[in-house]
Structure 1
């Protein structure tokens, strides 16, 4: 694991809120093994006999901040589809749950988790591909020993070719893969006033934590229209009066908060841009019916086009601030046009990127694997 990945893990661990956000249950289905420490949450409609179209199991360890929130949203979207679901932390340490719950498939959010027998296992590939490969572009199996043992893949990365080559060379079987994103569940459009600028999240990379970025955060802090949310480890040291604290890590509060502000500032790390992997912030902002101000990211420009207002954070901080401030003032001065702009990005989200649609894509992949 390279230094960038280690640093990301360390900061994500610092961002981790208690596992109580999942809840802990003492009973699963039938008689659970008394030797296991249960870290489990089940959908209300899950019972011994499967009645939904799909029963899925989600596992996530180590429990990094972004992935914790993704799990909350996945289960909410699954419930919206009428699916049954179970969250099992550290499934590779508690494999008996597969035989007890009998899921159609297991979704892992972290490559540290080893697949266990008894179900089809799908792994999210959401780390930029350059972190998975060496200088020659070859997959680093020694650093990611579990990856090639999965049955299929959910690629947030745009190109999983190095992993496909390594997988087929080792396993001599078909590489099952579908492109997907870490999005949020479906929302209704809200034509609420677009008055305040919202920025949220954790800083785990050098760019967004640099003096360069801090300078235009400080300038935004002086405007009176800026609301900043995230883990204290990222923001308290900047002494910004616009810092509002950490939002609850659930399936709706982030989107609700952005909606109440009306304008969203989305900034990617250099790793996001180099790896062409979008942050979930873009989907949260679109789902919230916000006017989106975003840096130049290939995915955003391709998929959201001119429904987004763009800035170049690589310029001098004063120029970056001026771009953001000009966009905010345009929104304030053109409320009807701003609502139409927000409606366009929300429509793109609803037509292409709702988490319910992403889950249906995953189910289709599972069906193709089951037919083999």
Structure 2
């Protein structure tokens, strides 16, 4: 098999689900003998539609972090560069943009830097919608576009009418639960603690408070940043290590997924891999892969009342909960890391062959 040089440009090394996907693929490529370098720009400049202004917050953060990736065990090289330009990036076979903010800069690079790939993991329009034109313009650049769901593919094509490759996200093979799942009484519910509006935080928090009050449920939350004013009875784990996070999934009966808009939602398939019954809104991986009443209980209206009623149904009906746990587990197994990463590698090789 041909060994290739791959350059990946990321906005920063901040912890998150999207970066974890990118860095896991990068590690896999290194393990297969490919030469991978991840580039992080210090001078983080907005696209020209914002008059080339510097994003100082991200720029300063990138400088202070340097090339240290503290939350992920990387096998690839990380290079901190002054800015995204031909002077700072090596020649390679593939050059990949991973965010709309850097897509234009990557596109402007010389062809010697590699075949240009744009890896899109979500519709990155902010909650206010102020960057909608910028995001959609990035789809029209003419790069080889790769995304994670068919609904994202159709959205991109409605804007650009260009060819888009879909490779679904995954769960690591070793993170699937092997032992028999124990049912808790009262139930345990896990949810991502992220206060961004599109993550449905306020909606989810309201439902969890009612669930604990009515059923005395154990509530497990985790996230990158500590969240103020949580009920004292709620458990919160800040940036838990993977071993602890997998343990928390194993201890939970149900995963609540209240996101209003999501590219994928790694918590869903990770929870399924640990036989958590998923109750969630119809977005991201739930919209893409799940079947209502079979692999998840799905709220299409995305209202507090509907999502709450569905969660309470699962809490009260152990037979339904067990069915969702078992079916979700079988669904997640179809999207293992070993399978999806191989597809990712083959896609990149096809571009240079």
Aligned to 2:282: 296
Name the SS of the counterpart of 1:347 in structure 2. Answer: helix
Residue 321 of structure 1: how far off its partner (Å): 3.7
What TM-score do you get using the length of structure 2 for normalisation?
0.66
Aligned to 1:284: 270
Q: Does structure 2 retain, via aligned residues, the 8 Å contact 1:76–1:185?
A: no
Mapping for residues 163-174 of structure 1, pairs under 5 Å = 163-165=159-161
C-alpha separation between the residues in 1 aligned to 2:138 and 2:307?
42
> CA 1:104 to 1:149, structure 2 compared with 1: closer, same or farther past 3 Å?
same
The answer as to 2:92 corresponding to 1:106 is no
Name the SS of the counterpart of 1:158 in structure 2. Answer: helix
The answer as to 2:350 corresponding to 1:358 is no
| Segment drifting more, 286-295 vs 75-84 | 75-84
> CA 1:314 to 1:144, structure 2 compared with 1: closer, same or farther past 3 Å?
closer
The answer as to 2:41 corresponding to 1:74 is no
Name the SS of the counterpart of 1:58 in structure 2. Answer: strand
Correspondence for 2:116 among 93, 115, 121: 121
In the TM superposition, what whole-angstrom CA distance separates every residue of 1:271-309 from its partner, at most 9, and x where no partner exists? 33xxxx432222222233322222334852562321223
Q: Does structure 1 retain, via aligned residues, the 8 Å contact 2:94–2:114?
A: yes
Q: Does structure 2 retain, via aligned residues, the 8 Å contact 1:203–1:209?
A: yes
C-alpha separation between the residues in 2 aligned to 1:221 and 1:201?
16
| Segment drifting more, 117-126 vs 61-70 | 61-70
Count of matched residue positions in the alignment of Structure 1 and Structure 2: 290
Correspondence for 1:161 among 157, 160, 164: 157
Q: Does structure 1 retain, via aligned residues, the 8 Å contact 2:153–2:164?
A: no
Correspondence for 1:264 among 250, 255, 263: 255
Aligned to 1:186: 173
Aligned to 1:330: 317
Residue 264 of structure 1: how far off its partner (Å): 1.6
C-alpha separation between the residues in 2 aligned to 1:206 and 1:366?
31
Residue 265 of structure 1: how far off its partner (Å): 1.6
Gaps of 5+ in 2: 42-80
